[in-house]
Chains A and B, each alone.
Chain A
């Protein structure tokens, strides 16, 4: 079901199929978070903490914080400083700055499988350039919300997950007890 970015049909960035998002969240193991913050009330901190709790390896990228740790993770100044290419780059920057991040990625030889832009972050031209290079793109979404939505966990706060299932969710250890793959 996973539609590769260079398939015949261009991805509709207004309405991603759940299968597309789910495949990304399943496939990705390592995430570089551009614009990660150590401020405990910033959305990027929330997402970093949540992704770590789900078992992802998350590498904060923040030049002002390089060499220090956020939630026990060593922060890097730039994507090029990472020890290995990440599976996904998650961008917490505005839409204009996101284009620069994408172009820096494309100029390097270390392409991730996925570039993800956070809520309100959208740059169609940059997305097209990334997709032309075979990278899957998600824009104006949050991986924490999508993970919570697709696992059913987000329904705990009354959010419309837009998923239905008659299967019993599997109990899993950790912060929450619904696994992404259970019941769906």
Chain B
């Protein structure tokens, strides 16, 4: 078994999980406990000093969460992972490990709106700058990198516009400048796109979306690609210099190619604290077992819905990389040939009022602000998430008055299409 690399579906079910050593329970138990007893004083000292593998406190490690971590690391092809409370906290801890005050992140301007807010506002208060670039323009990325740039941050499949990012090209720039490439892989999942195979150094997820997949649990994860040399430049002192938090341990020399994941855990998570609950880890773990089945169905349904909308006389345009002729179809075929994901936008010829009518008249779609549920979801950004902006600002953000975003679920495609059909007929 171990001499062959198991397939994705096998890893999605088995990676990280063995029967429980104490009880033989086959499904990973929910270790709903804050703390773990020490064998003796020396054992405690070894654990606190990072000299032994083991559990102290659920804010730092938990056996249920550890299974989730190893599973996502295996699916992404990373060396290790750290699961946390949300996708936002994954970003916080990853950048906390990379950044010092005065440093900057070169970030794609096509990111989830919540990430744009986090970088523009909250990170600014830590003294971390952001330089926005167009992820489809390699020159703009390269020109933005300066001596204080500590990371490049992109989404593999960008939310919500359906932009498939060329990770290999951007990773070549990152390597040239010895800066780690951080990729948010939430929208694609490793079933569709594995950024580490294309040169990403760190992969982040909101596990809340397609990974968990059932709209029931918040979670996030940081995956260490194991590829970046943290000591070469001396620019990542949390990894390359003796840490006073642990009597002078140098994390990179001690933990080698999974030092980044360890640093996020024993410095960032320990001190900042956004731990995932074991219950949520369990729910997400159960969701991941069916990830390959779900993602394929999400993609197949999304393609059918996109094709239907493209042929509808009330629809002005459809932006879905899975559609032939789409601007990102070629990159989709290269990087994620199994499908274009399940989230995309389209424009209504009837503009703002037609958008309001559509979200008001759907019966099967749920009108809410999430993606990656079993249920089909719909939102009209201009009347909800982006309503405070002027029309010009809305259009610039890809949330013009005519724009509707779908997260296509796992229902029968014929029913999803029928719901859109009747709701479009109402206006």
Name which of A50, A148, A162 has the most chain B CB atoms within 10 A of its CB: A162
A43's nearest neighbour on chain B, judged by CB, is: B254
- Pairwise interchain contact A175-B80, C-beta atoms closer than 8 A: no
Which B residues touch A160, using CB under 8 A? 15, 70, 73-74, 78-81, 258
Q: Which of B18, B63, B262 has the most CB of A within 10 A?
A: B18
Q: Which of B51-59, B329-337, B342-350, B370-378 contacts A (4 or more CB under 8 A)?
A: B51-59
Stretch at the interface among A26-34, A56-64, A98-106, A166-174: A166-174
Q: Cβ of B403 < 8 Å from any Cβ of A? A: no
Check B258–A156 contact: CB distance below 8 A: no
Hey, which chain A residues are within 8 Å of B392, CB to CB?
A: none
Contact A159 B73 (CB under 8 A): yes
Question: A148 is contacted by which of B24, B43, B53 (Cβ under 8 Å)?
Answer: B53
Q: Is the CB of B18 within 8 A of A165?
A: yes
Contacts of B179-207 to chain A: CB distance below 8 A:
none
B67 touches A155 (CB 8 A): yes
Contacts A41-B246, A160-B81 known; A168 to B61 CB distance under 8 Å?
Answer: no
Q: A119-B256, A183-B18 are in contact. Are A164 and B248 (CB under 8 A)?
A: no
CB-CB nearest in chain B for A148: B53
B242 at the interface (CB under 8 A from A): yes
A175: which of B24, B46, B50, B73 is its contact (CB, 8 Å)?
B46
Known: A41-B246, A49-B46, A175-B52. A158 touches B81 (CB 8 A): yes
Mark B48-90 against chain A: 1 for CB-CB distance below 8 A, else 0.
0111111100000101011101100110001111110000000
The distance in angstroms between the C-alpha atoms of A40 and B74, with both chains bound, is 32
* Residue of chain A at shortest CB distance from B262: A157
Partner among A43, A166, A168 whose Cβ is within 8 Å of the Cβ of B253? A43
Question: Which residues of B are found within 8 Å of A41, using beta-carbon distances?
Answer: 49, 242, 246-250
A152 to B53, CA, bound (A): 10
A145 interface hit (Cβ, 8 Å) = yes
Which residues of A have CB within 8 Å of B21? 168-171, 177-178
List residues of chain B with CB within 8 A of the CB of A80.
none
A164–B15 Cα distance when bound, in Å, is: 6
Cross-chain contact A18 with B20 (CB below 8 angstroms)? no
List the B side residues contacting A45 at CB < 8 Å: 51
Whether the Cβ atoms of A153 and B253 lie closer than 8 Å is no
Give Cα A169–Cα B23 distance, bound, in whole angstroms. Answer: 10
List, sorted by A's number, 14 A–B pairs whose CB atoms are closer than 8 Å.
A41-B248, A50-B52, A119-B253, A155-B16, A156-B63, A158-B80, A158-B82, A160-B70, A160-B74, A160-B81, A163-B2, A168-B18, A168-B24, A175-B39
Residues of B bordering A, CB below 8 Å: 1-3, 6, 10-11, 14-16, 18-22, 24, 39, 43, 46, 49-55, 61, 63, 65-67, 69-70, 73-74, 78-83, 242, 246-250, 253-258, 261-262, 265
For the complex with contacts A158-B61, A177-B21, 11 further pairs of A-B residues with Cβ separation under 8 Å are A18-B3, A43-B254, A119-B253, A120-B253, A120-B256, A148-B53, A158-B65, A158-B70, A158-B261, A163-B2, A176-B54
